[in-house]
């Protein structure tokens, strides 16, 4: 191919609230635009993403996709009705559906699909108001995965889930880990806090297991001392019922501080001053806060569930999220043992250095080439393995990664 590889990336999720998927897409676009012989075309909704409107290194396509079209039923209808025409008109070599589904029937060019997780698939009652919404989501994900020339996931954990649940050929599914933006340089040590605190960063949906944070804090007070506080992003109004009940049982509710929404600068300050990040999620596709924390020099205590052991590796403490005493004891070890804390800070920084958006983009490019080669029935070019599990401290997954 003599002309630059033109890739259409689905960026419709950038209308409305900025999400985790939005961060992935914008970060990948930033890195892919630096790749030689690549031209990025972004498929936007009816609202263009403001930071992109003055850039000359990205072509923007405005569509009639609205915020109201984000529901599973309307989105499926929109994608089948409008996407083929938009993809054809873009004059691209490849289409990258970045949003769990979105590969239409009769897609005019080869497609790559990214599946971030299958959490809504497994927890339909928490994500869909009707059975029709659930059916549309399942159909869209399954059909998109089968139509795509290649499927990427953000961890090997999700890769195994996608292969098993959607019954895909492992040779067409690749793990492309997310990255983390490097912390902005700061001068001097972090400002001291009145009391040490443990930090939680994330949403309040049930799978995040916020109730376990309050149980762990209570157990810490009982077993050690009552000077440790808990800082939680978001508002107490959005706590699920079980978390509200556990919060009400705390003898010192004033020791819990709800942070609301934080910008990047504020969040960086919270990471730098925290005694530890505590993430006791029952399910995660990736777990970006653990990598962000490690990059900022914040030790990590995470659940030994889902993708978190793969992402954390040996650079943090893994605990049973259902055992409050385990989390309390891990907190005590990090707070009381200075040498151990320094050890995990150093290990965390080294671990976070493996998760860069440049590495993500460099891992994704061979998948694009594989998709183009597969679609044209040509042999795939030789390249490095998409993911080196040993480099990230994880045994090879049950369905081995294909070699590109």
Give a yes or no: residue 185 inside a domain.
no
- Please state, in angstroms and as integers, the Cα–Cα distance from residue 11 to each residue in 46, 146, 186, 264, 346, following that order: 11, 21, 32, 21, 36
Beta-strand ranges (E) seen in 91-149 are 94-97, 111-115
CA separation for the pair 32, 354 (Å, rounded): 18
Residues 173 and 30 in one domain: yes
Please indicate, yes or no, whether residues 29 and 143 belong to a single structural domain of this protein.
yes
- 154, 259, 315, 358, 360 from 393: Cα distances, Å: 16, 33, 10, 20, 17
Q: Is 291 within 8 Å of 355 (Cβ atoms)?
A: yes
The total of other beta-carbon atoms located within 10 Å of residue 240's CB is: 16
How far, in Å, CA of 43 to CA of 38, rounded? 16
pLDDT at 392 over 70: no
136 lies in the same domain as 207: no
Q: Are 372 and 272 found together in one domain?
A: no
- pLDDT in the model for residue 192: 54
Same domain, 201 and 332: yes
For 182-224, what is each residue's pLDDT tens digit? 887 665 555 555 689 999 999 999 999 999 999 999 999 999 8
**Domain identity same for 62 and 175:** yes
Residues 343 and 241 in one domain: yes
The answer on pLDDT for 141 being more than 60 is yes
Domain-located, residue 404: no
**8 Å CB contact between 168 and 162:** yes
Q: What's the structural domain count of the chain?
A: 2
pLDDT higher than 90, residue 389: no
Is the same domain home to 241 and 346?
yes
Alpha helices in 36-91 (DSSP H): 72-90
Instruction: Give buried/exposed letters for 114-132 (b at 16+ CB in 10 A, else e).
Output: bbbbbbbbeeeeeebeeee
Instruction: Please check whether residue 274 lies inside any domain of the structure.
Output: yes
Same domain as 374, residue 320: no
Question: Are 267 and 304 members of one domain?
Answer: yes
Residues 111 and 58: their CA atoms lie apart, in Å, by 19
CATH number at residue 348: 3.40.50.2000
- H/E element holding 133? helix 131-147
Q: Do 365 and 313 have their domain in common?
A: no
| In a domain? residue 401 | no
Q: 256-289, pLDDT tens digit by residue? A: 999 999 998 999 999 999 999 999 999 999 999 9
In a domain, 221, yes or no: yes
In a domain, 192, yes or no: no
Higher pLDDT, 314 or 384: 314
Q: In whole angstroms, what is the distance from residue 216 CA to residue 326 CA?
A: 8
The range of the structural domain enclosing residue 142 comes to 5-179+357-392
25 touches 14 (CB < 8 A): yes
For residues 290 and 152, membership in a common domain is answered with no
Which one has a higher pLDDT value, 248 or 36?
248
pTM for this one? 0.90
Average pLDDT, the chain: 91
Determine the Cα–Cα distance for residues 117 and 141; give it in Å rounded to an integer: 11
């Amino acid at each position: 191919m003599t002309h630059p590889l033109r890739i259409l990336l689905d960026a419709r999720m950038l209308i409305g609230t900025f999400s985790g998927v939005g961060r992935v897409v914008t970060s990948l676009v930033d890195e892919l635009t630096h790749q030689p012989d690549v031209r990025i075309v972004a498929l936007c909704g009816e609202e263009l993403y403001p930071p992109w409107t003055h850039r000359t290194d990205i072509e923007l396509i405005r569509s009639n996709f609205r915020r109201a079209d984000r529901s599973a039923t309307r989105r499926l209808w929109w994608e089948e009705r409008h996407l083929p025409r938009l993809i054809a008109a873009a004059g691209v070599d490849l289409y990258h559906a970045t949003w769990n589904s979105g590969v239409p029937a009769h897609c005019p060019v080869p497609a790559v699909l990214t599946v971030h997780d299958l959490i809504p698939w497994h927890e339909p009652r928490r994500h869909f108001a009707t059975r029709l919404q659930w059916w549309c989501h399942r159909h869209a994900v399954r059909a998109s995965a089968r139509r795509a020339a290649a499927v990427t996931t953000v961890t090997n954990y999700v890769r195994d889930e996608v292969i098993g649940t959607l019954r895909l050929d492992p040779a067409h599914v690749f793990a492309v880990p997310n990255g983390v933006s490097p912390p902005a340089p700061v001068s001097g040590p972090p400002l001291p806090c009145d009391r040490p605190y443990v930090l939680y960063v994330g949403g309040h949906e049930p799978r995040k297991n916020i109730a376990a944070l309050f149980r762990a804090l209570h157990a810490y007070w009982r077993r050690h001392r009552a000077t440790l506080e808990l800082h939680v992003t978001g508002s107490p109004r959005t706590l699920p019922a079980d978390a509200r009940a556990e919060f009400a049982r705390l003898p010192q509710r004033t020791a819990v501080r709800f942070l609301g929404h934080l910008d990047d600068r504020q969040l960086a300050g919270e990471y730098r001053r925290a005694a530890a990040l505590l993430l006791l999620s029952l399910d995660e596709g990736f777990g970006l806060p653990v990598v962000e924390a490690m990059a900022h020099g914040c030790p990590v205590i995470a659940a030994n569930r889902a993708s978190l052991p793969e992402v954390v590796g040996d650079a943090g403490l893994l605990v049973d999220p259902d055992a409050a005493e385990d989390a309390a004891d891990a907190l005590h070890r990090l707070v009381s043992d200075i040498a151990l804390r320094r050890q995990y800070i150093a290990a965390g920084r080294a671990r976070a250095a493996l998760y860069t958006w440049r590495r993500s983009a460099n891992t994704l490019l061979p998948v694009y080439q594989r998709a183009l080669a597969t679609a044209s029935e040509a042999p795939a070019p030789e390249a490095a393995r998409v993911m080196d599990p040993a480099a990230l401290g994880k045994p090879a997954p049950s369905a081995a990664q294909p070699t590109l």
